[in-house]
Amino acid sequence: MTATSPTTGPAPAGPASARAGLRQTNVPGMHTYGPGMPRPSRFFQRGFGWLLGAVWLFYLGQPLGTILDRPNGFAKWFSLAALVAFGLSYILVFLWTRRVHMQQRQPPLREGLAWLGATLALGLAMIPGAGGDWMVGLVYIAASAIMVLPPRAAVPVVAVVAAQPLLLPMFVPSWRHESGLFFSIVLAAFAMFGVTRMIDHNMRLTAANKEIARLAVAEERARAARDLHDILGHSLTVIAIKAELAGRLLPVAPERAEAEVNDLEKLARQALADIRRTVGAYREVCLDEELASARSALSAAGIEARLPVSVADIPEPRGTLFGWAIREGVTNVVRHSGATRCVITVRPDQVEIADNGRGPVASEGGGSGLRGLRERASAHGAQLSVGRAEGSGFVLRVSVPA
């Protein structure tokens, strides 16, 4: 018996323990098996911001005690309500600023000034019940200024706010001179500056990690596309030429046609194996194998091949790079050149593929194959040169600095 979900269709019945590994998704007809992905703690999503903002409210204990010691009356309850609203306003400013910084934005100046003005107004509203102790709220005003204002504007605001505990008692004799409060305001401003910078740096680090991951995926896709182009382009070109040759030989030389067909089967299997190795990121090129493959491809195309006998002294990874160059060069000769002769020269620091055909006109960008080969050469610190050979024909050369 099965149960039906409106979004995922029939779901397997059975004991709850057997269904515990089944996590339904919102994709019709799809079930995801295995343990569910852990979700972020709701405390760290929401509660942490409240806790981090509220932990600083202990400074308000001084004006709170003063207000509670006053006799009942309008001044007491009005100031008490203003103090509660002041603390709540500070927490909301902190949460708002934290969210803005996490979105990698700067707090809008107009909204920041509005928050700062509202917090200051609520602080002044504590005066009827708290008297001079309301100046403790200046700690939060300075911290809020650091949060909501650009640094150039926040610094003078903090300086003005920090001076008030030293200046206001000169005009209101009943208020005590608070030199310690001056240092508390300065320290709170520095602490909040560090918090905001830490949030900014964490967000930038997160964004940088995402960009690195995106570039890594893009690079891997480019590598896979380059390898598939090089493998399929060469293999399919040789297969097409051999198939054409086998078709021409079939009426006049069945034995040779049969040999070409056998070669077609081997090439097809080899191409399939190459694709599988490429998908598995195991694709490597052997210089000796590429030379043998080039000889076979050129011979099938009716092109005289002049290739080196031995390349045993070519070290890796240079040999792999030269193998890719020979593969791309021979593919271009067979496809585009119309040549009757191809000469491949391999030296410890250079490989060159030249033909006597018409050759393509080298463009700045080149095709996908030349572009891929240029990327490979650049990764090895080598130089790729393409163009017309002396007299006629086309030449492709990869040179590695000594």
Better-predicted residue by pLDDT, 276 or 265: 265
Contact status, residue 231 vs residue 133, Cβ threshold 8 Å: no
pLDDT confidence tier of residue 224, bands split at 50, 70 and 90: low
Sequence-ordered list of residues with C-beta below 8 angstroms from that of 319, at least 6 positions apart, any chain: 286, 287, 311
Tens of pLDDT along 43-99? 444 545 555 556 667 778 888 888 888 888 888 899 899 999 988 888 888 788 777
pLDDT at residue 32, rounded to an integer: 37
pLDDT at residue 366, rounded to an integer: 55
Better-predicted residue by pLDDT, 345 or 241: 345
pLDDT confidence tier of residue 100, bands split at 50, 70 and 90: confident
Q: What residue type is 74 in one-letter code?
A: F
311 pLDDT more than 70: yes
**3-class secondary structure, 395:** strand
Better-predicted residue by pLDDT, 202 or 36: 202
Better-predicted residue by pLDDT, 225 or 378: 378
26 pLDDT more than 60: no
pLDDT at residue 45, rounded to an integer: 46
pLDDT at residue 55, rounded to an integer: 62
Q: What percent of the chain has pLDDT over 70?
A: 75
Q: Give the span between the Cα atoms of 230 and 225, in whole angstroms.
A: 9
Q: Give the span between the Cα atoms of 171 and 266, in whole angstroms.
A: 100
Better-predicted residue by pLDDT, 236 or 144: 144
pLDDT at residue 78, rounded to an integer: 92
**Peptide bond preceding 317: is omega within 30 degrees of 0, i.e. cis?**
yes
Q: Give the single-character DSSP code of 188.
A: H
Q: Give the span between the Cα atoms of 125 and 302, in whole angstroms.
A: 98
Radius of gyration of the chain (CA): 38
Burial label for 300, CB within 10 Å (0-12, 13-18, 19+), is buried
Q: Give the span between the Cα atoms of 3 and 31, in whole angstroms.
A: 13
> Mean pLDDT in the chain?
76
**3-class secondary structure, 55:** helix
pLDDT confidence tier of residue 344, bands split at 50, 70 and 90: very high
Contact status, residue 393 vs residue 336, Cβ threshold 8 Å: no
Q: Give the span between the Cα atoms of 154 and 30, in whole angstroms.
A: 54
165 pLDDT more than 70: yes
Mean pLDDT of 304-314: 82
Q: What residue type is 200 in one-letter code?
A: D
Query: Which tokens sit at 92?
Result: 């909301």
159 pLDDT more than 80: yes
Contact status, residue 311 vs residue 346, Cβ threshold 8 Å: yes
Q: Give the span between the Cα atoms of 193 and 35, in whole angstroms.
A: 41
Better-predicted residue by pLDDT, 295 or 223: 295
Contact status, residue 303 vs residue 334, Cβ threshold 8 Å: yes
Give the residue extent of every domain in the chain. 3-33, 47-209, 287-402
Which helix (H) or strand (E) segment holds residue 374: the answer is helix 368-379
pLDDT at residue 189, rounded to an integer: 84
Phi-psi region of 15 (alpha: psi -120 to 50; beta: other; left: phi over 0): beta
SS (H, E, C) 88-148: HHHHHHHHHHHHHHHCCCCCCHHHHHHHHHHHHHHHHCCHHHHHHHHHHHHHHHHHHHHHH
Give the residue among 283, 277, 273, 345 at the shortest CA–CA distance from 314.
Answer: 345
Tens of pLDDT along 225-272? 766 666 666 677 777 877 888 888 888 888 888 888 888 777 777 777
pLDDT at residue 50, rounded to an integer: 55
Q: Give the span between the Cα atoms of 297 and 332, in whole angstroms.
A: 11
148 pLDDT more than 50: yes
pLDDT confidence tier of residue 364, bands split at 50, 70 and 90: very low
Q: Give the span between the Cα atoms of 100 and 215, in whole angstroms.
A: 26
Better-predicted residue by pLDDT, 20 or 225: 225
CATH homologous superfamily of domain 287-402?
Histidine kinase-like ATPase, C-terminal domain (3.30.565.10)
pLDDT at residue 11, rounded to an integer: 39
144 pLDDT more than 70: yes
Helix 138-148 / helix 109-124 crossing angle, nearest 10 deg: 180
Mean pLDDT of 25-43: 42
